A and B are shown apart, each in its own frame.
Chain A
Amino acid sequence: MDKIEKTCIICPIGCNLIIEKDPESKDGYRVSGNKCNRGLQYAIEEMINPTRILTSTVKIRGVSNKMLPVRTDRAIPKGKLFQVMDVLKELEVELPIKAGDLIIENISNTNANLIASKSIV
């Protein structure tokens, strides 16, 4: 793994990032192909600790044909996505719920909170 290529997903341009190991540089990697600084940060984060915002749904107690959409309020480590999904599978919320309501604090020790992304009364 001297050199890997990744498509930047920060914005719709989708720069083709070339990431090389470089012990000389501050972060340990040299990045080229990025058109902006956010691309550089993304490339390094992808190498050190890739994170994603998780969006899913949870069940509503007593309601059979409606799900509550939820999200993490910040990106969580990619490797923990399925661990959080396992928690959501068992979860049931009570109505009413407002968009932004806290559902689970620090879910699966990710430092992210699970919040509702829709109001349902």
Chain B
Amino acid sequence: MNYDLVVIGGGPAGLAAAISARRKGIKDILIIERDRELGGILNQCIHNGFGLHLFKKELTGPEYAKCFIDEVRELNIDYKLNTFVLDIDDKKELSVINSRDGFFKIQAKAIILAMGCRERPRGAINIPGSRPSGIFTAGTAQRLINMEGYMVGKKAVILGSGDIGLIMARRLTLEGAKVEAVAEIMPYPNGLNRNIVQCLEDFNIPLLLEHTVIEIKGKDRLEGVILAKVDENRSVIRGTEKYIECDTLILSVGLIPENELSKSAGIEIDPLTFGPIVDESLETSIKGIFACGNVLHVHDLVDNVTLEAYKAGEKAAEYIKKTSKERVLKTKKVKLYPGNGIRYVLPQYVNIDDLDNNLKLFFRVNDIYRDIEILIESNGSLIKKIKKNQVFPSQMESITLDKKLLTEIDQEILINVK
């Protein structure tokens, strides 16, 4: 089987990437989705608040997904459901499996990685104690309740204040469970402000900052957890331990881009984002393989995923249309580094001569900062400076650099908080 473009993942990133490649004239596109329907994680995000930036409307997850699923159908883009990609190689050959066609191979001219991310489970944070049932990641609980119709418990503690955890605090409460507390190990919440208000304050659910779960009790079913306060080094403060009876523990302790396939192809991974290293075209270290959405870096807003995916689709289309002679090595490749106070920056490389007009950088800070300047520098000289009243690690920031500012640059670019 041959396709010009194979998109791996039929969530918001994959759908938008396929649509944009089709709009740029690519006819032969296949989306591969492992779930029973298109839409990805949006299908379980039944709450509203999606599309505020892109559509200026507050849509629920399924409604946001529908906009793109309808367009994929109108554009007659092929897709395969319940289908799993086992492996991709550096020649862009995919090994694929499903129960109807069995095992088969697809040769693609270009691939877009849009596999999304995975939740960090209990094992990733090493909570000691027994291993009873009743411990769920927030997304698993969300899928069980919202899509499959199973209630996960009656009395819950939520560890971590990521957005899905906050959303699940409200959801469990509305469905009749009692949420005893949301515990967050950091001194600041990890989710969006509006979720703290709408999901916790509205229902008088306490948010315990600088607290964590230090022990899990119960044999067959969870019976309770021990919470404790932590100091500035995140070490438990003795004497602050507190037992809370509960039958459910929901973990909302972070998301990790899902890059097993990227690694199997030999794509270089950034240890800071856990996603592929890309340039301004969202092209990975293998020519013709692009990445977008949460597989690249974890986003706060789906609107940003869609915009990024549009770009990946457009750039993949450009790549496919080029002859092999035109796909010459790009010139003047400059690396971007996260400096002081910056956790990561994206893209990691820019090919300055190939820039369309400007370069949009995305980054996250590593702590809360107030009244700061973000400095973009190269070889000791300042390229751009912007002021920010306050920045949070939980909110992705962006800066647009005009191409004119970059034409003279030939050394690495550093981004700093001052």
Contacts and interface: CB of A to CB of B under 8 A. Distances in A.
B336 interface: no
Interface string A35-79: 000000000000000001111110100001111010100000010
A85 B196 CA distance: 21
B66 A99 contact: yes
Contacts of A6: 197
A59 B175 CA distance: 13
B194 A67 contact: no
A84 to B, nearest CB: 9
Interface in B151-197: 174-176, 192-194, 196-197
Given A82-B174, A85-B174, A117 B193 contact: no
A56 B46 contact: yes
B60 interface: yes
Number of chain A interface residues as a range? 20 to 34
B147 interface: yes
A117 B46 contact: yes
Contact of A65 (B63, B149, B198): B149
Contacts of A56: 46, 174-175
B62 to A, nearest CB: 4
Of the listed residues A14, A52, A53, A54, the one surrounded by the most CB atoms of chain B closer than 10 A to its CB is A14
Contacts of A64: 149
Contact of B395 (A12, A67, A85): A12
B101 interface: no
Interface in B371-418: 395
B149 A57 contact: yes
A90 B176 CA distance: 14
A50 B90 CA distance: 56
A102 to B, nearest CB: 15
A85 B197 CA distance: 20
A69 B149 contact: no
A51 B243 CA distance: 35
Contacts of B194: 7, 9, 12, 14
A79 B176 CA distance: 15
Interface in B99-114: none
Contacts of B62: 69, 99, 117-118
Given A52-B202, A119-B66, A9 B149 contact: no
B47 interface: yes
A67 B66 contact: no
Of the listed residues A54, A64, A117, the one surrounded by the most CB atoms of chain B closer than 10 A to its CB is A117
A81 interface: yes
A56 B172 CA distance: 11
A11 interface: yes
